[in-house]
Amino acid sequence: MARPGRGRRSGFVLWEMLLGLAIFCMGAIALTTALQQAVDTVVLIHDESQVRQDLESILAEASVNKLQPGKTAIFMGDHRIQYEREVVSLPAKNSKNQPVANLWQVTVRASWLARNRVRTSEAQEVLFQP
Tell me: pLDDT of 6 over 90. no
Structural domains in the chain (count): 1
Residue 1 lies in a domain: no
Domain that holds residue 84: 6-128
Please choose, from the candidates 125, 128, 47, the residue with its C-alpha nearest in 3D space to the C-alpha of residue 86: 125
**How do residues 98-121 score in pLDDT, each as one tens digit?**
888 889 999 999 999 988 899 999
Residue 59 lies in a domain: yes
Residue 21 lies in a domain: yes
Q: What is the spatial distance between Cα 105 and Cα 127, in angstroms, rounded to a whole number?
A: 6
The pTM assigned to this predicted structure is 0.72
Which residues on adjacent β-strands are paired with residue 87?
A: 70, 106
Higher pLDDT, 110 or 7: 110
Residue 83 lies in a domain: yes
Tell me: pLDDT of 70 over 90. yes
